[in-house]
Amino acid sequence: MSEQKKVIVVGAGWAGLGATYHLAKQGYDVTLLEASPYPGGLVAGWKTPEGKSIEGGIHGFWYPYSNIFSLVKELNLNPFTPFTRSSQYSPAGLEVESPIFQEEPKLPTPLGTFIYTKFKRLPLIDRLSALPLLYSLIDFDNSDEAWRRYDKVTARELFKQFGVSARLYKDAFEPMLLVGLFAPGEQCSAAATLGMLYYFILAHQPDFDVVWCRGTVGEMIFKPWVEKIETLGGKVLTNKRVTDILLDETGKANGVICGEEIFEGDAVILGVSVSGIKKIVEHSKVLNNYAEFGNLSNLGGIDVLATRLWFDKKVNIPLPSNACFGFDETTGWTFFDLNTLHDEYAAETGSVIEVDFYHANQLLGMTDEQVVQKVHKDLTTCLPELGDAQVIDHSIIRVRQGVTHFAPGSYQYLLPATSAIPNLYLSGDWIITRHGSWSQEKAYVTGLEAANLVIKQLQQGNAATIIPIEPDEPHIQVAREINRNLRQSLNEFLPDFWLS
Ligand SMILES: Cc1cc2nc3c(=O)[nH]c(=O)nc-3n(C[C@H](O)[C@H](O)[C@H](O)COP(=O)(O)OP(=O)(O)OC[C@H]3O[C@@H](n4cnc5c(N)ncnc54)[C@H](O)[C@@H]3O)c2cc1C
């Protein structure tokens, strides 16, 4: 019998766990090294000393997350709520209510999104100003060429160029950017904006439908998943911070350094965030010799603040998930009714509300007391009944530089799954993939893609099946084909007018 191949995976988020699970299933001797005390990465959850569940932000699972839904089925888990409706608030009150789109009569995209979304204040004329933008959604096909064409433009410029009204931008597109890409329009790449909007909202009518875990994702998905990995022989080791990669004399990776320890392997997969890999590169004797790794210092992360408040009385919260905008200039936030979403809080006598802030730079320096006051005040604007409720407990988690910043011009520095080191692979929600997914689903898919590259190289086991995103609807396919042909013909006769 041939010797079992060894693989080291670094980082236990969706990406690292995805790679580890598949490789363990294929009979590899796989060790996953995680710097923090819990697996799950940005989605990790844990309990307070009093035994209350908390996590670094609530995470939704959108309709197109086919690979995650298939994993959960394979693991025989039942972690999710039914699909939920959501709404949006501004300081003026309720702005938007979304239905469950899959329950409405199906219309060719994007008609359903435009017709079924209930805007309370935004005039029709402003909504119609989005129409010219449809051209850019057709033109942006997630190819390398399209990313290069749109990446150096800011989302704000893109919306301006296509004639989106100031009010539609402020009241609809910017809020979507703040919760989807975690940054205001002037700080988002237009390529990332188009990719994210198409995937989460516009490709198919039901895409914006979302489910939530009925507890922390850590408890409901990662815990049983890690147990399954361990029964397959995989090792998941926490409190193990990797500081460097080891190379043999031929330039191949043969292990990683983790404090005083060395873990050897036939291949290495990194599943760490942008800020995680930047820290490794900064101190690495090896990776700094490669321009692609040195260039990662051009990338950045975004600050988020996750808060959970326990109130002394229960108030009526019309819908369980809500996004808010217009309270702070460059910060978006969401709030969730955990009595409705989480089994653990269903029987509480008071409301338990999670409030997460994105692009929360200016909030991270506040004391816990100041944060609680702000959250209570902002929430009361949306839910006036909370005005005379008391906060009886709270949890505040500050995640500095935690989420990937898809800044204008960042694409040139993002990395694909393969690297200059022939058996060192990369995965995570910031890695370039043509799959088309985003966030947790993308992280998981890139983990599987990295595992498949290892399998191809080490010739042991079978590749993971990765479910592609649902194809474009027929009219979008036709429009894209016409646009591609037109673009090609024009390129033959005209100089390139688009400054990319
Ligand atoms: C507040 C908030 C809300 C969000 N909401 C949603 C949502 O609703 N839906 C959605 O799909 N996505 C959401 N996201 C995004 C989602 O969390 C990420 O896209 C996803 O979790 C990224 O997974 P990952 O595996 O790529 O990276 P990570 O989760 O960042 O995992 C990387 C892991 O690597 C570890 N690590 C780093 N350096 C080292 C080292 N040197 N050695 C060992 N380990 C190391 C880290 O500790 C971490 O555990 C949200 C994020 C936040 C912060």
DSSP 437-454: --HHHHHHHHHHHHHHHH
Q: Chain-centre distance of CA 234, in angstroms?
A: 26
d(CA 324, ligand 1 centre) in Å: 23
Sign of CA dihedral 146, 149, 151, 153: negative
Give the burial class of 448: count Cβ atoms within 10 A of its Cβ; 0-12 exposed, 13-18 middle, 19 or more buried.
buried
Structure tokens at 392: 């009886």
List the domain boundaries for the chain.
6-55+215-299+407-458, 86-209+470-493, 301-404
Secondary structure of residue 222 in the 3-state scheme = helix
Alpha-carbon span 117 to 207, nearest angstrom: 13
Index of the ligand 1 atom closest to the CA of residue 18 = 25
Ligand 1 atom closest to the CA of 57, numbered from 1? 1
**Measured on CA atoms in the order 174, 177, 182, 185, is the torsion positive or negative?**
negative
Question: Is the domain covering 301-404 a CATH 3.90.660.10 domain?
Answer: yes
Q: Does domain 6-55+215-299+407-458 have CATH number 1.10.10.10?
A: no
d(CA 156, CA 458): 46
How far away, in angstroms, is 272 Cα from ligand 1 center? 8
Nearest-angstrom CA–CA distance, 280 and 432: 20
Look at the alpha carbons of 470, 471, 474, 478 in this order and tell me if their dihedral is positive or negative: positive
Ligand 1 first shell, C-beta below 6 A: 10-16, 33-36, 41-43, 56-57, 59-60, 241-242, 271-273, 276, 280, 304, 306, 356, 399, 402-403, 428-429, 439-440, 443
Q: Which two tokens stand for residue 321?
A: 């998930």
Can you give the pLDDT of all 500 residues of the chain as single tens digits?
468 999 999 999 999 999 999 999 999 999 999 999 999 999 999 999 989 999 999 999 999 999 999 999 999 999 999 999 999 999 999 999 999 999 999 999 999 999 999 999 999 999 999 999 999 999 999 999 999 999 999 999 999 999 999 999 999 999 999 999 999 999 999 999 999 999 999 999 999 999 999 999 999 999 999 999 999 999 999 999 999 999 999 999 999 999 999 999 999 999 999 999 999 999 998 999 999 999 999 999 999 999 999 999 999 999 999 999 999 999 999 999 999 999 999 999 999 999 999 999 999 999 999 999 999 999 999 999 999 999 999 999 999 999 999 999 999 999 999 999 999 999 999 999 999 999 999 999 999 999 999 999 999 999 999 999 999 999 999 999 999 999 888 877 766 655 55
Residue type, 468: P
Please give the distance, rounded to the nearest whole angstrom, from the Cα atom of residue 388 to the centre of ligand 1: 36
Task: Give me the amino acid identity at 156.
Answer: R
> What six digits make up the tokens of 138?
């057709």
